[in-house]
Chain A
């Protein structure tokens, strides 16, 4: 069945360092890959997304890369700040005809230490 694996499960970095989270998906038909940030007790919020026709997308300190051949995609956060501390989830889906069932990874707990 459809599956998304996410690594690492926990990540601890010093403020100013970079953080990288990696995901692998199983359904080669997937064409949309969002990343969500969830702070403790709050709702998941989209931070960046990428479609399958693009290999890389950047938004200020956040970037996502996609390797369709290997079915890998990664989140890169540069110049990390304490407010980046949260749980990050990757997800994958085939968007077709309005259907958009997201398959989520298990999450990465990122801790940024001052």
Chain B
């Protein structure tokens, strides 16, 4: 039973560019959340997708957008990259029918913006 998988594992981009990160949730999970973890900090909630719609959003600008596909996988897109966007981006999945079950995190994508 595969857990949460994310791709790519590492990415280097230049300021102003755009990036797309991908996530496949744990088998049986239908809800995907994205978190940004800056170095030495706790993860910060970006947004959550369920039934292919964004239903919760953290304090992130519109440059951050996402998508969920019918197979529950998800993408995170960041436009007009800034140096401050350099971070570990974590995807977490959960089951809508079992909200108290733990979030399962992927290994993350480390994004470096130069």
Contacts and interface: CB of A to CB of B under 8 A. Distances in A.
Given A89-B43, A104-B43, A105-B42, A98 B106 contact: no
Interface residues of B, number: 28
Contacts of B103: 34, 46, 100, 102
In which size bucket is the chain A interface? 20 to 34
A99 B96 CA distance: 8
Contacts, number: 66
Q: Which of A34, A49, A102 has the most CB of B within 10 A?
A: A102
A98 B50 contact: yes
Interface stretch (A14-22, A37-45, A60-68, A70-78): A37-45
Contacts of A99: 48, 55-56, 99
Contact of A49 (B33, B102, B105): B102
B16 interface: no
B45 A103 contact: yes
B94 interface: yes
Interface string B17-44: 0000000000000010101000011111
> Which 6 residue pairs across A and B have the least CB separation, nearest first?
A104-B42, A46-B102, A43-B105, A98-B96, A95-B99, A101-B45
